[in-house]
Structure 1
Amino acid sequence: CSPGGGTLPLQCHPTPSKEPVPAFSPAVCQPNRLPAKLHLQPAELCQAGDVYTQEKFKPQANQQTLLIINGDLEKEKQRLQNILVTGKDVVEHKVKQTLVQTKEEEIPEPDRFEELVNEVQERREFLAEMEVLGQGKNYQSIILTEISQ
């Protein structure tokens, strides 16, 4: 039944469920064109250059080779033995921990009082600069409130 209560039409036009696919034209392939004249060089010219000479191998020094060169050969042997026995590089972790500890000891903590004095001084300098530029009234209450805290 139709919404108006009448009968359904006897004939209807079919509606496709899919969108019509546009006609696809294959792309026109153009063959690669070779240059009109090939630039070939004689074999003597190619061999005369440094293209066929092999560079001498120069190994880069890493941490292990530097240890061996500097005379820490016994320490390196012990480290490798520990790796074979335990499967872990225990000595290396201790070295890293001592390096971190020495870095922490070298950097003294800044005094909190000095930090506060520096911050107050920076705010006063900023307020003075704003007053020179004619904007002191806008920032004066804010800066004085920050300094009092």
Structure 2
Amino acid sequence: MSLRPVRARERDKGKSQGAPLSSDTQKLLQKMMAKSRLTPAQKRKLNTSLQTTGTLPKDLHGSGKVVRKPTRISREIKGRVPLPARPTIRTSESILATDPYAVDKFVPKPAKYSCEEEKARLADVFEDVGRPVHEKKYGAQGRKNAATRKRAEARARARAAAAARAPPPDRFADVLAEIEERKAFLEEMTALGARKDYEAIIHFQIAQKIEELKDIDAKRAAAAEAKFGSGWL
């Protein structure tokens, strides 16, 4: 067997791959790879080629990613969708029998609000523009005024209820208290040396209060006599 064809193939293979690179050239290539913009896959491919064969690869454009074949979509139709049945042609007699020209009666929907109330509300809204601040009924100020009015009404009702529960005022006792106040005032003016300036008017007021006490006493006596008779005393 001749070895010439085998040696020829090895010689051709060596020519195709090229001579191995020196160590200095490989170091220079490593530095150039560090500064280059090669992708990680291209750097791996270049390092592998330098370590195994000592030569540069012929192609660096391959990304090294596994390209998957697109899956074939089956277009088999499992079942046909039935088409709707073709409508039959109606005769004129059947159409006229259904009274196709009759107009439906109008049925009004129930109103959500009263028209008159809505008119009054809108009138108040427009009138509210010219009202003072404390009389406004709408908006934030209107709500504030409404709350203030509610609180005032609640206080008024509470005062009215308290007055209804309280006993009627005793005018006789009030007049006696007013007489005592005037006497105390006259004593204070006497201590200050100004009795002569107030004595006449204070005596006049006390005399009026005494006459009022007499009138109150007479009215009470007449009411008691009318209620219990003349012999109640």
Question: What TM-score results when the alignment is normalised by the length of structure 2?
Answer: 0.24
**Higher helix proportion, which one?**
2
